[in-house]
Amino acid sequence: ARRVQLAGLGGLPGGCSGVVANVTVTGPTHDGYLTVWPAHLPQPLASNLNFGPGQTVPNLVVAALSPDGAVRLFTPFGATNVIVDVVGYIT
């Protein structure tokens, strides 16, 4: 899992409790899934995106943030690029 700091960057205020983001997986090397969750909590069992090798797959994700404003991203197989475009936030 990779920790990604969101609050306090790119105009996203510190202290926000969640985000609405377009999360895109591109160029995966293996069938898989991506899970997004608050960085301070255990990983949930659900996925936010499912994809196959070489695909580009976007999905609108609503995710809570950790108290310091971060999420974790996880994919179990292979490698992939992930783009997180925050389009809104929750305070």
**pLDDT tens by residue, 14-59:** 889 999 999 999 999 999 999 999 999 999 999 999 999 999 999 9
Q: What's the token pair of residue 23?
A: 């999360």
Buried b (16+ CB within 10 A) or exposed e, 8-43: eeeebeeebebbebebbbeebeeebbbbbbbbeeee
Q: What's the token pair of residue 20?
A: 């609405």
Nearest to 21 by CA among 85, 66, 77: 85
**Which residue is listed with tokens 């990983």?**
43
Which pLDDT value is given to residue 26? Answer: 98
- Taking only the tens place, the pLDDT of each residue in 55-77 is 999 999 999 999 999 999 999 99
Which pLDDT value is given to residue 53? Answer: 97
User: Parallel, antiparallel, or unpaired: how do β-strands 49-51 and 70-74 relate?
Assistant: unpaired
What residues pair up with 25 in beta bridges, in sequence order?
57, 82
pTM of the model: 0.93
Beta strands in 1-91 (DSSP E): 2-5, 18-26, 32-38, 49-51, 56-64, 70-74, 81-90
